C-alpha cells in the first residue's frame, strides 16, 4: 500500500475515534436538567457544539426509535476541519462512516457501538424528559467534554432514509 493509502487509513482511524468521543459526549447527558415538561420521547434531533481535549466539534444528531431494537442514530459532525457522518442502524444492524468523500462500512464494530448507544440513548431521554426549551449545556463527566445542545426537537418525524448510507 502506498503512503497516501496509509495516511488515509490513519486519518479515518483518528476521525472515527474523535467522532465516537464527541457523539458519546452528546448522547450521554449527566447532570441537572431544567424542571418541566418534555416527558418521554422516542425520537430526537438537535444541533451540538462540543469541546474535548482542545478539539472543537459541531454538528447535528438524529436518533429514532429510542428504546427499541430498531433504534437508529445519525451524527453529522465537523471535527478538525473534516465533515464526518456516523450511522448506527439497529434495524439493519449496520454501522457506516462517511469521511473524505467516501462511505466506509464499519459494521464489524456494530455490536460495540450498538450497546453503547442503546444504553446512552435511554439515559438521554431520561435527562431531557424535564427539558422545557432553549439550549442545554453540560460537561460530560466521563470525557470532560463541554457540550451545548441547541435547536432541540423532541419527537420529530425522521425519515428512515436519514439512517442509510449513500
Q: What is the pLDDT of residue 6?
A: 45
Phi-psi group of 12: left, alpha or beta (phi > 0 → left; psi -120 to 50 → alpha; rest → beta): alpha
For the stretch 25-34, pLDDT in tens is 444 333 333 3
Nearest to 149 by CA among 54, 57, 18: 57
Identify the segments of the chain with pLDDT beneath 50. Answer: 2-8, 10-11, 18, 20-22, 24-37
Residue pair 105/112 in contact by the 8 Å Cβ criterion: no
Q: What is the pLDDT of residue 80?
A: 86
For the stretch 8-21, pLDDT in tens is 454 455 555 545 44
Angstrom distance (rounded) from CA 138 to CA 136: 7
Q: What is the pLDDT of residue 67?
A: 85
Amino acid at each position: 500500500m502506498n503512503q497516501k493509502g496509509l495516511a488515509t487509513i490513519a486519518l479515518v482511524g483518528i476521525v472515527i475515534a474523535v467522532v465516537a468521543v464527541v457523539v458519546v459526549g452528546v448522547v450521554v447527558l449527566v447532570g441537572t436538567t431544567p424542571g418541566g415538561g418534555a416527558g418521554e420521547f422516542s425520537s430526537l434531533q438537535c444541533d451540538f457544539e462540543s469541546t474535548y481535549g482542545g478539539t472543537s466539534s459541531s454538528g447535528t444528531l438524529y436518533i429514532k426509535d429510542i428504546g427499541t431494537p430498531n433504534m437508529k442514530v445519525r451524527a453529522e459532525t465537523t471535527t478538525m476541519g473534516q465533515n464526518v457522518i456516523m450511522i448506527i442502524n439497529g434495524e439493519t444492524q449496520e454501522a457506516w462512516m462517511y469521511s473524505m468523500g467516501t462511505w466506509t462500512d464499519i459494521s464489524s464494530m456494530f455490536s460495540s457501538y450498538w450497546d453503547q448507544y442503546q444504553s446512552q440513548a435511554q439515559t438521554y431521554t431520561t435527562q431531557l424528559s424535564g427539558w422545557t426549551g432553549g439550549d442545554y449545556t453540560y460537561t460530560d463527566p466521563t470525557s470532560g467534554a463541554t457540550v451545548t445542545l441547541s435547536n432541540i426537537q423532541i419527537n420529530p418525524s425522521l425519515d428512515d432514509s436519514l439512517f442509510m448510507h449513500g
